[in-house]
Chain A
């Protein structure tokens, strides 16, 4: 079965510092991995995806993610955090065995401190 894990419920980082939000995955076959951000009372906004190709994926709002096959990880990163980045971040894997539904991680709340 496909799954993703986000080991941290919350990550705190000072504004201007680099941030990392962790995600590990477990899939059979090639992984199709995604990051979404959710602001309070809002929908899920797409940040970036890894399908194939370069291990470093660049996405929206200055975010990037590094795909590491040996560590089965897909950590979200940003070189310099902004207070406005404070939100809930979800890692997801797409179930390619059938109907392509998403399986989400439990989410990580990012808090950027001014």
Chain B
């Protein structure tokens, strides 16, 4: 079965650079969520989209932005990267008509040097 696809799997950037993370949800899923998991931390909710509109916002820095496109894939754009942005970034998707659980992608590991 198709899963949530995230790309790239690994990304190394320098401070003050920009990074773009991509997420391709499971087909027919209408909601995408982004989470950030720092080293040794639990996943923290960043932002979500329902039907291409932002539906909720968590602890996402102003330097970050995200959007969901017409094909439902989502991109997380991160500018002016800081060392503290080094983390595992997860995307998850769900269908609001489903059984309330959702599926995570394998994550993108971002390292800022």
Interface on A for B, CB 8 Å cutoff?
32, 34, 36, 41-46, 49, 51, 90, 94, 96, 98-107
Contact = CB atoms under 8 A, between A and B. Distances in A.
Contacts, number: 59
A104 B103 CA distance: 15
A100 B98 CA distance: 12
Nearest 5 Cβ contacts at the A-B interface: A99-B56, A43-B106, A104-B42, A44-B104, A99-B55
Interface string B9-39: 0000000000000000000000101010000
Interface of B: 31, 33, 35, 41-45, 48, 50, 55-56, 58, 90, 92, 94, 96, 99-107, 109
B104 A100 contact: no
Point out which of B41, B45, B94, B101 has the most chain A C-beta atoms below 10 A from its C-beta.
Answer: B101
B103 A51 contact: no
Nearest to B109: A41
B109 A51 contact: no
Nearest to A36: B104
Nearest to B34: A101
**B contacts with A: majority SS:** strand
A107 B42 contact: yes
A102 B45 contact: yes
A49 B50 contact: no
A43 B101 CA distance: 15
Given A43-B104, A49-B100, A51-B99, A100 B31 contact: yes
Contacts of A98: 55-56
Given A44-B90, A46-B101, A51-B99, A90 B43 contact: yes
Contacts of B109: 41
B96 A100 contact: yes
A94 B78 CA distance: 26
A101 B42 contact: no
Contacts of B100: 32, 49, 51, 94, 96, 100
Nearest to B31: A100
Query: A34, A36, A43, A49 — which one has the most chain B CB atoms within 10 A of its CB?
Result: A43
